[in-house]
Amino acid sequence: MTRQGGLGHRLWKAFVIQAGLIAVAAILGIYAARFVLSDVLISSALNSEAEHFWDRYADNNDFPRPDTYNMKGYLAGRDAVPEKIRNLQEGIHKLPGDSVDVYIIHVSERHGRKLYLEFDGESVGELALLFGTIPLAGVLIVIYLTTWFLYRFSRRAVSPLIQLSKQVDKLDPKNTEHFAINLSDISGDADQEVMILSRALSDLLRRIDEFVIRERNFTRDASHELRSPVTVIKIAADVLLADETLSESATRSLERIKRSAKDMEELIEALLVLARESDNGLSMESVCVNDIVKEELDFAQELYKEKIIAVDIHESNQLTVNASDKVLSVLIGNLVRNAFSYTEEGRVDIYIENDRLIIEDSGVGIPDEEMEKVFKPFFSHEGKQLGGYGVGLTIVKFLSDRFKWPITIESKLNIGTKVTVIFPGAEKNTTARHQSSV
């Protein structure tokens, strides 16, 4: 899965997360400081004050009770103890105040008397602010400034990579002028690793460009050089077929040569289509799948006429696909001939439905453990290639992937095979509904 955003975005995200975590840590630190002041330090101080008073009181019963700016003491029996704290038991207590947020009350008892120490809780907040918030704020400022400078430094360090990625994103293999990396556009402070990566990518793109040029030259030359002898064979076959003195056996052989030349021509066209990156040069038009099926079926029956195979075409509609008739002929022809090839005796049923073509045979079938290999080159069931070279289904798969025609194969050993090809966006004419036996 691809992550959203680039390196700069991820650095900024890391900076924001770090700043947020620092802020949370600072707030927790302030509360921790307040807790330490109120529940630990102040409690300890009040305990010390009470112990000091009782030590002095044991020597002098007139020793004055504590009375400072933040703390006031009351000695039961000698001072008027406020009613709100009069009934408190020994220990530390927190009470809400009238003018302050909270009062901290320390109660202790010695010599039959109680000492009440009342500490102004507002001072706790002031102490927390003085010894917690202000120092933490200073630390936060230093940390944020340091983090910001680190972010700027990191951003500058990765900027050559960002520039390099933008150049790679703009590469256009179809335009040789824009299929190269301009190293001068990479910032001068790029690290050695970035420059090594840039040069390696530049060298790789140069080699790819050379491969593309060779591929274009090959497809252009192969298109001419391979088609020429096939055309000569077809013309020669037509000339010989025009000779009325030929025997019936020679005529059938010539017809077979002519059909094989046509098959070779379509195979060459399919291979060239697979070799080309784009589909330029292919004539895309509305092609009737029904007509292609019948043409390829005639060819397959002539090719395998020694076999006893019943064939039925079930047409629920007239199916029209926007495609190259040559590509469609190669795809359907390979599937039809494959059905005949793996059926020694039985049936081949062809269904033309709403948006799909289904070819079903009663042949030898394919075991489950070999199903994942059917589209691989030179695949054969039980090591036997019946009437083919083992590349037919591989070509079919390439064409289906290239033109976005999903294909599925279902098969059971000794029962038969069912191949389904879906043509998304195909047009159908339901006026023609019939079943034809061939």
Angstrom distance (rounded) from CA 336 to CA 349:
10
Q: What pLDDT, on a 0 to 100 scale, did the predictor assign at position 189?
A: 57
Phi, psi at 28, each rounded to 5°: -65, -35
Indicate whether this model's pTM tops 0.75.
Answer: no
From CA 404, how far away is CA 391, in angstroms rounded? 20
**CATH fold for domain 282-437:** Heat Shock Protein 90 (3.30.565)
Distance between the two ends of the chain, CA-based, in angstroms?
51
Domain boundaries, the chain: 7-140, 282-437
Q: Are strands 91-96 and 356-361 parallel, antiparallel or unpaired?
A: unpaired
DSSP string, 126-177: HHHIIIIIHHHHHHHHHHHHHHHHHHHHHHHHHHHHHHHHHHHHT--TT-GG
* Cα 127 from Cα 42, distance rounded (Å): 11
Q: Which two tokens stand for residue 45?
A: 């101080």
Report the distance separating Cα 171 and Cα 18, nearest Å. 36
User: Is 124 within 8 Å of 38 (Cβ atoms)?
Assistant: yes
- Return the half-sphere exposure (C-beta side, CA atoms, 13 A cut-off) of residue 233: 17
Q: CA-CA distance, 292 to 218, in Å (whole number)?
A: 29
Instruction: Give which of 383, 290, 304 is closest to 337, Cα–Cα.
Output: 304
423, β-bridge pairs: none
Q: pLDDT 10s per residue in the chain (438 long)?
A: 445 556 566 767 777 787 777 777 777 776 766 666 666 777 888 888 888 888 888 888 888 888 887 788 898 888 888 888 888 888 888 877 554 456 788 899 887 888 999 887 666 666 656 666 677 677 778 777 877 777 777 766 666 666 666 667 666 656 555 555 665 655 555 566 666 777 777 777 777 777 777 777 776 676 667 777 888 888 888 888 888 888 888 888 888 888 778 777 767 776 676 666 555 556 678 999 999 999 889 888 877 888 889 999 999 889 999 988 888 888 998 899 889 988 888 999 999 998 999 999 998 888 888 888 888 776 665 544 444 545 678 888 888 988 899 999 999 988 999 999 999 988 888 755 555 555
Alpha-carbon distance 273 to 352, whole Å? 26
Do the Cβ atoms of 386 and 345 come closer than 8 Å?
no
Residue 360, SS3 per DSSP: strand
Nearest to 419 by CA among 323, 307, 341: 341
Q: How many CA atoms lie within 13 A of 362 on its CB side?
A: 10
Angle CA(15)–CA(16)–CA(18) in degrees, nearest 5? 65
pLDDT given at position 292: 92
Site of tokens 């109680």: 114
Size of the chain in residues? 438
293 alpha carbon, distance to own chain's centre:
39
Q: Which residues pair with 294 in a beta bridge?
A: none
In one letter, which amino acid is 132? G
Residue showing tokens 């970035």: 194
Give the residues across from 422 on adjacent strands. Answer: 356
